[in-house]
Amino acid sequence: MASTTSAPPPGMERDLGPTGEGGGGFQHGRPAPVSTFPAAVRPSQTGIWVALAAISMMFAALTSAMVIRQGAARDWGHFELPGILYFNTLILLLSSFSLEMARLPFAQDPDLGREESRGNGRRPAQVLYWLYATMGLGLIFVFGQLAAWRELAAQGLFLATTPSSSFFYVLTAVHGVHLLGGITGLAYVLHRMSRSTGSRPRTALGVASVYWHFMDGLWVYLILLMMTRMNVA
C-alpha cells in the first residue's frame, strides 16, 4: 500500500523548512526558530489582539445590557453628562497623538530597539519625553473621570440612584481600570528602555500602543453611547 521510497503526494512536503540530513526529525545544536513564523512576529503581538477581542466582548455585553435595561421600565432617568468628560476626551485623544510622537523614531529607524539587534541601547531622549507625556495625559484623564464622578455625586446621582447613573459609573469604572492597565504597560516600556543593556523595547512599545489606541477608541465609543442614551436632550 505504501512504501518508504514512493514520492510524497503533492503538498506533503509543503511548508517544511530545512530538515537536516537524516536527523530523525530533529535538528541538533542549531538555533532553529521556535516559531513557524518569521522571528519578527512575537506572541505578545498576537496576544494583544486576542485580549482586545475579549475586552470588546465585555463592553458589547455591557452595552446590550444597558439597551435592554433602558427598555425594561420607565425609570431610566436621563441626566446631564458632566462637562469635564468632553475635556477628558480631548486629553485622551491628545495622549494617542503623543504616543505616536514617541514611536516616530522607531518608524524612522527600522533597527532601533529591535529584538535582534543586541546591545542596541540607543534611546533618543525624544522617545522618553513623549512617553512621559502620554502617561501624564493618561493620568490626567483618570483624575478627570474621578472629577466627573464627584460632580455627579454632588448632584445627588450615585451608583444606585437611577439605572442610567448605574451604567454611567459601571462603564466609566471598567474603562478606567483598563486604562490604568495601559499606563502600567507604558511604565513597563519605560522600565525596559531605562535598562542599560540589551534593551529591546520595540515590540513592547508596539503592543502597548495598540492597547492604548484601543482604549482611546473605546472611550470615544463610550462617550458617544452615553451622549445618545444618558444625556438629557
Site residues for another protein per CB under 8 A: 1-9, 12-17, 19-20, 22-28, 30-37, 39, 41-44, 46-47, 50-51, 53-55, 57-58, 61-62, 65, 68-69, 72-75, 115-116, 159-160, 162-163, 166, 170, 174
Q: How far is the CB of 86 from another protein (least distance, A)?
A: 26
DSSP codes of every residue in 146-211? HHHHHHHHHTT--TTT-HHHHHHHHHHHHHHHHHHHHHHHHHHHHHHHHSSSS---HHHHHHHHHH
Q: How far is the CB of 145 from another protein (least distance, A)?
A: 18
- Backbone torsions φ then ψ of 122, nearest 5 degrees: -65, 130
Select from 103, 127, 126 the least CA-distant residue to 212.
103
- Residues 122 and 214 sit within 8 Å (Cβ to Cβ): no
Q: Name beta bridge partners: 79.
A: 231
Q: How far is the CB of 222 from another protein (least distance, A)?
A: 14
Q: Which three cell numbers stand for residue 228?
A: 445618545
- Residues 98 and 130 sit within 8 Å (Cβ to Cβ): yes
Q: How far is the CB of 186 from another protein (least distance, A)?
A: 17
Q: How far is the CB of 177 from another protein (least distance, A)?
A: 11
The residue length of the chain stands at 233
Quick one: 115 or 151, whose CB is closer to another protein? 115
Quick one: 25 or 196, whose CB is closer to another protein? 25
